[in-house]
Structure 1
Amino acid sequence: MNKRVLILGASGEIGRATALKLVAKGYEVGLQYNANESAVSSLRKEIPSHQYSGDFQADLSTNEGIVTFLDTLEMEWDAVIFAGGQMWTGIFQDMHPEDMDALYNVHVKAVWMTTKHVLPYMIHQKAGSIILVSSIFGIEGASLEVAYSSVKGAQNSFVKGLAKEVAPSGIRVNAVAPGLIDTKMNAHLTKDELTALAEEIPMGRAGKAEEVSDAIDFLINGRSSYITGQIIQINGGWA
């Protein structure tokens, strides 16, 4: 039987690239998304029916949305990938509490709650993989991205702590920390701003979603069987 992988944030470019890569490797995939139903519908057409484990619409920016999602989600997943993305850009003093709550829920509480939901099955199986898509900002921090840097830093600490706790049960926990990646999340940047950022990167360009999904593919399979608790940076040398 094919291994089943749940991908949160499947409507984004990294989520989509990861889903297609894993399907090509023989995995079955389930897809969570929030508002972009058309992107998931398009992705669904590229997945053979016998490798499709359903899609799940859920707004994970609220506590109610997280609870509703988990009420409908089965527990039997061999791996979970947290690829959902939500940012808030601006001066920290201008940030409203509801914006803070949304970032916390999407990037921290939804990760905690979903992981808690799927762990019993993985522990019973004595196998499993949990992978987070973090960010360079969770390591380096960023002006005008203070709260986002904070929740991504929390993800990195979660990976390191949980990896130690569940390793005796055969479960591995890792993260990838992308730098500048060519996705819609950077659509707020002007062409000149993107060019200036690319000039700071030793490899001289933004990364591609497929390059992030390559690392996720590596972390989910047996080639990385002795790797856990790690934050793999995918940033073209930008630090």
Structure 2
Amino acid sequence: MSALFSLKGKVALITGATNGIGLGMAKGLASADIDQIILTYRSEKPLEEAIKVLQEVNPNVKFASIQVDLSAADEDATVKKIFEESYAKSSTGNIDILINNAGISARYALESFPQEEFDQVLKVNLSIPVKLTKAIGTKMLETKTEGKIVFTASLMSFQGGLNTTAYAITKGGINQFMKGLSNEWSSKGIRVNAIAPGYIQTKLTDSMDADRKATVLPRIPIGRWGNIDDFMGPIVFLTSDASKYVTGETLLVDGGWMAR
């Protein structure tokens, strides 16, 4: 059974893995004996801290990093940089797993939502993941790689939320993109899925006001907010042979929120 969950010999590229849910996912990959994890990052200190955490999980895992700001003006140049450097730095010359995790949010009523911030959310959460997936996925097809692509979706892939219209647009779009792409690529050897986190203790949820936070916990059937380690098992499942007949699915990691 352990062989089904092994990622030995594989190389993964993950965006936004220096903290939060992305770091939890990277911990899962490391625990499954993956050969190499390639991380995107913006600043050195969070990267150093993340690698230290991951090496404690598995000191044998190799790491590579790509410094990039996903909110930079030229998104095509950003995608090109990630694509080219990921293959150049891969220990095998290949990318087996792509995890589109990086994301941002901004909370405003629509009528007062600054257009620049609105557009930034759409770019980072939707446009760049779509373009990066096209680039990496096309390479997987060319090299006949049995690839795994995972997106970080959200409860907002299913619900509208409050004062989060830009975020809801992107997470709804990511979920539909995942499904459509799964229909196109699954028969060609690439499995495409998503993970939808519930309310997780991360920097992204720190922006919620206290009154809103107080209404969340009573609605979670499991009785607690999630933490980043709750994503270790789900990401290993979706990127390993344990889920080889699973594609086009959104795995909810929400403590039962959507079942309520």
TM-score by length of 1: 0.92
Q: 1:97 corresponds to which residue? A: 115
Measured on the aligned residues, the alpha-carbon RMSD in Å equals 1.9
Give the secondary structure class of the aligned counterpart of 1:125.
coil
Cα contact 1:59–1:66 (8 A) shared by 2: no
User: How far apart in 1 are the matches of 2:211 and 2:117?
Assistant: 28
- The more displaced of 183-192 and 65-74 is 65-74
Deviation, structure 1 residue 95: 1.2
Change (3 A) 1:139 1:231: same
User: How far apart in 1 are the matches of 2:161 and 2:33?
Assistant: 38
User: How far apart in 1 are the matches of 2:193 and 2:14?
Assistant: 15
User: Is the counterpart of residue 219 in structure 1 residue 238 in structure 2?
Assistant: yes
Deviation, structure 1 residue 91: 0.5
Note the 1:42-81 alignment, pairs <5 A.
Answer: 42-45=49-52, 46-47=54-55, 51-71=61-81, 72-75=84-87, 76-81=94-99
Q: 2:127 corresponds to which residue? A: 109
Deviations 1:116-153 (A, max 9, x none): 22123321224000001110011111121111011000
Q: 1:30 corresponds to which residue? A: 38
Cα contact 2:41–2:47 (8 A) shared by 1: yes
Give the secondary structure class of the aligned counterpart of 2:40.
strand
Give the secondary structure class of the aligned counterpart of 2:116.
helix
Cα contact 1:62–1:105 (8 A) shared by 2: no
Instruction: List alignment gaps of at least 5 residues for structure 2.
Output: 1-7, 88-93
User: How far apart in 1 are the matches of 2:73 and 2:169?
Assistant: 19
* Runs of 4 or more above 4 Å deviation: none
Change (3 A) 1:49 1:170: same
2:216 to 172, 180, 197: 197
TM-score by length of 2: 0.85
User: Is the counterpart of residue 234 in structure 1 residue 253 in structure 2?
Assistant: yes
Cα contact 2:16–2:40 (8 A) shared by 1: yes
Deviation, structure 1 residue 39: 1.5
Change (3 A) 1:163 1:169: same
**In structure 2, what residue type is equivalent to 1:64?**
D
User: How far apart in 2 are the matches of 1:175 and 1:151?
Assistant: 13
Q: Percent identity?
A: 29
Change (3 A) 1:44 1:231: same
Q: 2:170 corresponds to which residue? A: 151
**In structure 2, what residue type is equivalent to 1:203?**
I
User: How far apart in 2 are the matches of 1:74 and 1:193?
Assistant: 40
Aligned residues: 238
Give the secondary structure class of the aligned counterpart of 1:165.
helix
- The more displaced of 154-163 and 16-25 is 16-25
